[in-house]
Amino acid sequence: MKNKIKRVLVTGATGHIGYNICMAILESEIELIVLGRKNESNFRQGFSLPCKYFQWSNPAESLPPVKAMDVDAVIHLMGEPLDVRRWTERKKLEFRSSRIKSTRNMVYAIKGAIGRIKVFLTASAIGIYGEGGDNTFTEKSKIGDSFLAKLCHDWEQEAKKSTCRNAQLRFGIVLANDSRALKKMLPVFENGFGGPLSSGNQWMSWVHIEDIVGITMKIIHDPTLAGQINVVSPEPVRNREFTKLLASALKTKALLPVPKIALRLVLGEMAGVVLSSQKVLPEKVTANNYTFKYTKLADAFSSLFSWKESCHDRLFEQQQWTPKPLNEVFDFFSDVKNLEVLTPPLLNFKVLDKSTENLQEGTKINYKLKIRGVPAKWTSLITNWQPMNEFADVQLKGPYSKWYHRHLFRPLSGGVLLEDKVVYRLPFSRFGGNILHWFILKDIKTIFSYRRKRIKEWH
């Protein structure tokens, strides 16, 4: 018999794991409550999903607001990022405080909720096992003796003091377009400097973001799952294979091995985590009949980078929820006049003409604009015309070598989730395109930030 979960509290909701879990909660028609450090106004600027929000400004030193604890489940993902360049003693104290003390305070708050809360999930990491060589780790394996292993152990011990069913999610390397791990790897590989780390023999235990979400949701609803749980694919790979498959998915080469000494010089103690061999298996969720969506690393990378036709292609994504009805939202975005409303004034964007009165498959639209003050003309073709679902505009003539912008519309929680997915390629990519990319990406972010602001005002 599954527990009936109606309201879920999430901390760390703006991170890549937290955001995707929040999406799954809403898609399951469960009420979402979010707890964060920022005041509500600042939080809402970057997080548009429908939720109740409570501020917890100092998690290490105070209990969360009592009103936030009127929930059935708590997913606690808050913690200072570990992937800083050097782990100074001060940083180590911040790592411990942000995880252990905040978890301790959350446990106290759960005790005070008088039995309402059924399950408490907290983040952890497979770093708890330490260096393993070719040995295999399961949830029954002994923990390591490194700083990270001890940090994860102490973190988990605090969570286990909870009076309700609790589970500690030991995450492997998270694969998602916006995951911190891939964000650090992609620029290196896309600029041709990727390669195996040291010998390349070390094992890497990875997990696709969709399986993180799937496992998390299964744990919430399944009262038989508790304790330490490895959240990794059942098929770990060696670093050499990981590197080869990532380079293949990115349409590039990975020929330059990274010496161990170079990593230690750049990363300090963090290099030990990057170089450690961890062959971890998800014994508990496998025994509980969880079916992984991605067991093969090649399939996982393919799902993330299917949009790439060239190593010079780049992706920009943005999501925003609006409470408006779907037909109203689609009509607004399929009206060419509103493109001017959604574009920053600094671009001097004007629609010159279009080939059909109303947007439809095959419509051509001519615009003029200014890019960093330089006049430019742009011709787009409308494709993928699926009313109430999506459409795309493809640059036929313009400043980019490639511009393919998908506009997607998805009903969610009584409103619509708007998704922009832009695949673009800069001109002269082979000759300095990567140098220009930082400036261009900044411009794209400015444009879509303005777009986000105007849509929010449209509410």
Q: Is residue 359 in some structural domain?
A: yes
Q: Specify the CATH number for the domain of residue 323.
A: 3.30.530.20
User: Residue 4 to residues 133, 204, 413: CA-CA distances in angstroms?
Assistant: 42, 36, 19
| pLDDT score of 254 | 78
| pLDDT score of 187 | 78
Q: Is residue 242 in some structural domain?
A: no
| pLDDT score of 261 | 66
* Pair 339, 351: CB distance under 8 Å: yes
Q: Does 217 share its domain with 344?
A: no
3-state SS assignment for residue 168: strand
Arithmetic mean of pLDDT, 248-272: 70
Q: Does 423 share its domain with 290?
A: no
Q: Is residue 435 in some structural domain?
A: yes
Q: Does 80 share its domain with 171?
A: yes
| pLDDT score of 178 | 81
Lowest mean pLDDT among 87-91, 207-211, 298-302: 87-91
Count of structural domains within the chain: 2
Q: Does 39 share its domain with 127?
A: yes
pLDDT-based confidence at residue 412 (cuts at 50, 70, 90): very high
Q: Does 209 share its domain with 324?
A: no
| pLDDT score of 267 | 54
Q: Is residue 196 in some structural domain?
A: no
Q: Is residue 265 in some structural domain?
A: no
| pLDDT score of 97 | 86
Q: Specify the CATH number for the domain of residue 22.
A: 3.40.50.720
CA atoms of 430 and 311, how far apart (whole Å) = 10
Which tens digits make up the pLDDT trace of 64-106?
Answer: 999 999 999 999 998 887 776 677 888 888 888 889 999 999 9
Arithmetic mean of pLDDT, 397-423: 96
3-state percent helix, strand, coil for the chain, nearest multiple of 5: 35, 25, 35
pLDDT-based confidence at residue 115 (cuts at 50, 70, 90): confident
Final residue before a domain boundary, out of 295, 327, 345? 295
pTM above 0.85, yes or no: yes
% of the chain at pLDDT higher than 70? 94
Q: Is residue 1 in some structural domain?
A: no
| pLDDT score of 264 | 63
Q: Is residue 302 in some structural domain?
A: no
Higher-pLDDT residue of 69, 114? 69
**CA torsion angle 49 53 55 56 (round to 10):** -90
Which tens digits make up the pLDDT trace of 22-38?
Answer: 999 999 999 999 999 99
Q: What is the mean pLDDT of the chain?
A: 90
| pLDDT score of 1 | 40
Q: Does 158 share its domain with 287?
A: yes
Per-residue tokens: 77: 């993902």
Q: Does 284 share its domain with 356?
A: no
Arithmetic mean of pLDDT, 312-321: 94
Q: Does 51 share its domain with 162?
A: yes
pLDDT for residue 440 is more than 90:
no
Q: Does 281 share its domain with 397?
A: no
- Residue 15 belongs to domain spanning: 7-176+204-236+274-295
